[in-house]
């Protein structure tokens, strides 16, 4: 058996994609709209408070294309908290006129391919910062799930550790050349959802998503072993902007 990679695991993560049934929203009376907006404001201000005291984080994104209209990315120390938030939202007036589009359950993950073996890796402040990330205030968001191949001949999970380390080193080098341009959060979902990882990217220029993903396609870790699910791209929205967009 190949040596298993060890993971460092941080906050749990829910990516929740929904569409809006505009016909139903427009049919709401103004009292119903007000009720829906007041509830949303309350929910968002709870999320914001949690984010300020660094007990979790959240992002609201307006999704382009027909796969979804908006997405919430929510991070919390426990699954229970995520479950509570999901139920709170589902019971809200606004949720009555939304429909599920896609969701992804995972946990923020760092692997041991490139880290040093000395001491407790969790003790490192930089590791803590990456395992409990504050979602960046960058203009654009990109999410997609992925797997590493398990096919005869190209089975990532049967490669020796040394070989996987070399491949991840090259992958990390490409990644680091986008420092300051792309912020990435890798969340692990083996045993939690249908794919092995969620890749969430943030940038101020959406073209950089295309650049990094394309460049990585030529790198062996992705070229040979990467398998990809659906891509979602969107714009970061403040709670106020999200609510404003309902009345446009």
Closer by beta carbon to ligand 76R, 88 or else 112: 112
Beta bridge partners of 183: 202
d(CA 21, CA 26): 9
Name the strand (E) or helix (H) holding 16.
strand 7-20
d(CA 109, CA 121): 13
> Is 232 in the active site?
no
Asked if 166 is part of the footprint of ligand 76R (rule: CB under 6 A), the reply reads no
Asked if 186 is part of the footprint of ligand 76R (rule: CB under 6 A), the reply reads yes
62 annotated ligand-binding residue: no
Q: In angstroms, what is the minimal distance from the CB of 7 to ligand 76R? A: 7
User: Please, which of residues 92-111 interact with ligand 76R by CB under 6 A?
Assistant: 110-111
Asked if residue 50 lies in contact with residue 105, where contact means CB atoms within 8 angstroms, the answer is: no
- Listed ranges 55-63, 86-94, 179-187, 236-244: which one lies at the site for ligand 76R (CB under 6 A): 179-187
- How many residues of this chain interact with ligand 76R, rule: CB under 6 A? 25
Residue 227 tokens read as 């398998």
Pick from 77, 172, 194, 240: which binds ligand 76R (CB under 6 A)?
A: 172
Residue 115 tokens read as 């880290």
Asked if 175 is part of the footprint of ligand 76R (rule: CB under 6 A), the reply reads yes
Q: Which of 62, 48, 46 is nearest to 101 (CA)?
A: 62
Asked if 171 is part of the footprint of ligand 76R (rule: CB under 6 A), the reply reads yes
d(CA 201, CA 221): 18
d(CA 21, CA 246): 11
Q: Which of 61, 110, 109, 51 is nearest to 85 (CA)?
A: 51
Q: In angstroms, what is the minimal distance from the CB of 83 to ligand 76R? A: 25
Which residue is catalytic, options 12, 58, 144, 232? Answer: 144
User: Please, which of residues 197-236 interact with ligand 76R by CB under 6 A?
Assistant: 197, 199, 201, 212-213, 216, 222, 226
130 annotated ligand-binding residue: yes
Q: Which of 190, 184, 188, 160 is nearest to 172 (CA)?
A: 184
Catalytic residues: 144
Q: Site residues (CB under 6 A) for ligand 76R?
A: 5, 110-111, 113-114, 146, 148, 168, 171-172, 175-176, 178-179, 182, 184, 186, 197, 199, 201, 212-213, 216, 222, 226
């Amino acid at each position: 058996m190949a040596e298993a990679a060890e993971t460092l695991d941080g906050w749990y993560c829910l990516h929740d994609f929904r569409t809006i049934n505009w016909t139903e929203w427009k049919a709401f009376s103004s009292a119903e709209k007000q009720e829906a907006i007041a509830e949303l404001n309350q929910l968002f201000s709870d999320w914001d408070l949690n984010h300020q005291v660094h007990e979790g984080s959240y992002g609201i994104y307006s999704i382009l294309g027909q796969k979804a209209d908006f997405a919430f990315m929510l991070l919390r120390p426990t699954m229970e908290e995520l479950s509570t938030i999901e139920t709170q939202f589902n019971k809200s007036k606004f949720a009555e006129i939304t429909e599920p589009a896609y969701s992804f359950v995972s946990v923020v993950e760092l692997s041991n391919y490139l880290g040093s073996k000395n001491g407790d890796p969790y003790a490192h402040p930089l590791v803590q910062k990456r395992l409990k990330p504050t979602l960046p205030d960058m203009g654009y968001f990109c999410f997609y799930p992925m797997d590493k191949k398990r096919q005869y001949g190209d089975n990532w999970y049967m490669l020796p550790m040394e070989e996987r380390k070399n491949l991840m080193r090259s992958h990390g080098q490409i990644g680091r050349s986008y420092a300051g341009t792309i912020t990435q959060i890798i969340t692990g979902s083996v045993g939690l959802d249908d794919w092995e990882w969620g890749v969430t990217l943030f940038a101020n220029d959406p073209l950089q998503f295309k650049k990094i993903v394309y460049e990585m396609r030529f790198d062996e870790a992705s070229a040979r072993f990467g398998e990809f699910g659906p891509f979602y791209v969107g714009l970061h929205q403040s709670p106020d902007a999200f609510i404003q967009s309902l009345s446009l």
